[in-house]
Chains A and B, each alone.
Chain A
Amino acid sequence: MIQYTDKIREIAGRLLKDGTVEVFIGYRKGTVPMMNEPVLIRDPDQVDTLHWDVNCGLNLCNYLTRRTEKIGILATGCNSRNIVTHIIENQIKREQLYIVGIPCTGMVDHRAVKRAVGGKEILSAEQQGEKLIVKGADFEKTFEIKEILQSNCAVCRHRNPVEVDEMVADPVPEQEGVEPYKDVESVEGMEPRKKWEFFTRLISRCLRCYACRNACPLCYCPTCFVDESRPQWVGKSNDPTDTMTFHFLRAYHCAGRCTDCGACERVCPVGISMRQFTKKLNKDAEELFSWEAGLTLEQRPPLDVYRPDDYNDFIK
């Protein structure tokens, strides 16, 4: 990904210098392994801090909300779909953006790597082509990146950005034959009681830190329902019912909008797989409305429009 990094710096420098954009949003190399930090650059002399590798799994679209400048932004497939969603939902204007597209082959699941080295402390994790070389105090292990992808990346069908002004490289081939909803189907096959147990266990470690909500570019409400106090929709303690209410409603607010970018799971400090909620909605959106979020600026989302042939089996 050294090539991408160099190219990104070159593009960002050019855009900032010629005034195409006032700020550029990308990543800089993190201070701990497998963590990079989103960064905003104004000065063309600072583009050398920009960095790209397989640890850029957050969603930069999150940083667009309520900005007023002309912005250059990096966008992988999923990030670009969120930018499209942001534009459709009037959170940013297309003219404000210069989208630098990144053909993406997936981001590394930092938890899977840590698990694979027996939970030992990782002192460095460097990408070399298709491999990730991980070193600790008393071990060195080389991973094939495609074996340690984030689970959303492993089933990704839109690796190339859908809306761009410029690409850093030629598009990569899309993955064929992925089964994105296998895990959802296995839950669908359960009895109601088992489903409840599954989701209760899933969120049992939740701290209500709201990292999942805040990492999500779809969550831009000025006041989230969990923060409302008049009326107070949901309790603020770590009571399991309140926690379930939070997760359920957070997910529901993403219906027909989620691009399965995986930022929610990536940021969770206790490793909750909250995509199990949103993926069900994505599956429904696809099966019932033939809809995948953020693929085009030309079409309104299904929950935004009425069509006489809309799915309505649920209504009497």
Chain B
Amino acid sequence: MANKVFSKDAWLEALGGLKEHYRVFLPLKDGDFFTYKPIEEAKKIHFDYDNTRLSPKGLIFPQSERMFEFSLDTQDPEANILKEAPKDDSPRAIVGVRPCDAHAVGLVRRNFDNPEYRDPWWVKHVEAATYVGLGCNAPCATCFCKSVGGGPFNEEGLDAMMVDLGDRFLVRALTEKGEEFLSRVQGGEAADEEVLKEARELAQKVTDEMPDTVPTGRLKDLPVMALFEAPFWEEVAFACLNCGTCTYLCPTCWCFDIQDEVYKTEGIRLRNWDSCMFPLFTLHGSGHNPRDQKFQRVRQRFMHKLKYYVDKYGDGVQCSGCGRCVQFCPVNIDIRRVCGLMDAYEPGA
């Protein structure tokens, strides 16, 4: 696979020159935080963020997305027929993705793209995307990717990876898509062994130094009902506001709700992010709500990520350790602590 080294200025210029091939998205400063935006909106590009406030999941799974359009005009021979809404699935490059967010795409894939179900829009959006990662030279104190099967230089889910070497970026292709991306980037020079070695050593050093703080090893062997009935849920949930911050900021939360909206004789069917924190999430048409208590909803979020997913897919937790919910939960409910409580739980003790 190809490798190229760019001076930082050359890299920024090269990204600007990709317009004919890709819609380029990258983290741009938006007020107090960074958010993924098209490169056209960039005044100045900084690759100096910890991470974006919202994960890049919104680029492939928009908060609100038109699925179908329909007409209610009785004169229209095609009235009441759902037609797929047009989408822009031209190639897009998402540049500067942190490894946790790329790892999350793989976790979400199990839901949207599996032998039983295939979500056509999610799949097409992902297929259209080239993920160009940025290794984390300085993981945050709230990061715990290493504890959940990832790492600050984890390549899973990425098509190419940038490594910040101070005054230069090493960009390494990891997949065919990444190879194609790199071939279209103007400038840069092939990386020699010395640069590759420098990058490898940096990655190794950062990875080794990052603490592995969140225990997950016992989760899969603990009986599901014991965890479900564990005594700590009420205490964990007490402070919860049942807002959607954790779920909306999370790169691995995938739930959505489908709504129809009509204006005059035109209508659309759209899907919106939904959150298991909302009482409405499980409200039945009958009026019954199987999760009408706050602690049930909080328990659901943690049990889904840290137990049901573990049991269902047998490949770790549904969390990429990005730490967004830890940093931005308005009442400081910390998934690291909850995971610790679950993992250490002794049923019947």
Contacts and interface: CB of A to CB of B under 8 A. Distances in A.
Contact between A and B in the complex (any CB pair below 8 Å): yes
Interface of A: 30-32, 35-40, 58, 62-63, 111, 114-115, 119, 121, 123, 137, 205, 207-211, 213-215, 223, 227, 229, 235-239, 266-271
B32 A114 contact: yes
Chain A residues touching B, majority SS = loop
Given A39-B239, A114-B32, A267 B138 contact: no
Given A238-B63, A266-B330, A40 B140 contact: no
Nearest to B29: A119
A269 B270 CA distance: 24
A255 B73 CA distance: 42
Contacts of A237: 63-64, 259, 261, 270, 272
Contact of A31 (B140, B242, B280, B334): B334
Given A114-B32, A236-B272, A237-B259, A214 B63 contact: no
A23 B334 CA distance: 23
Contacts of A209: 243-245, 248, 275
A205 B30 contact: yes
B254 interface: no
B259 A236 contact: yes
Q: Which of A111, A237, A268 has the most CB of B within 10 A?
A: A237
Given A37-B331, A227-B278, A32 B142 contact: yes
Interface in B225-277: 235, 238-239, 241-245, 248-249, 257, 259, 261, 270, 272, 275
B332 A208 contact: no
B141 interface: yes
Interface of B: 30-33, 49-50, 53-54, 63-64, 138, 140-142, 235, 238-239, 241-245, 248-249, 257, 259, 261, 270, 272, 275, 278-280, 326-334, 336-337
A201 B208 CA distance: 44
A38 B244 contact: no
19 contacts: A32-B326, A32-B327, A32-B332, A35-B331, A37-B332, A114-B32, A121-B138, A207-B244, A207-B248, A209-B244, A209-B275, A215-B243, A223-B279, A229-B280, A237-B64, A237-B270, A237-B272, A238-B64, A267-B331
Contacts of B63: 207, 237-238
Nearest to A138: B138
B64 A40 contact: no
B31 A271 contact: yes
Contact of B50 (A38, A121, A210): A121
A247 B106 CA distance: 36
B110 to A, nearest CB: 25
A47 to B, nearest CB: 15
Nearest to A55: B332
B86 to A, nearest CB: 17
B342 to A, nearest CB: 16
Given A237-B64, A269-B328, A208 B279 contact: no
A74 to B, nearest CB: 14
Contact of B332 (A35, A115, A205, A238): A35
Nearest to B65: A237
B260 to A, nearest CB: 10
B332 A269 contact: no
Nearest to A209: B244
Given A32-B142, A111-B32, A121-B141, A236 B257 contact: yes
A61 to B, nearest CB: 13
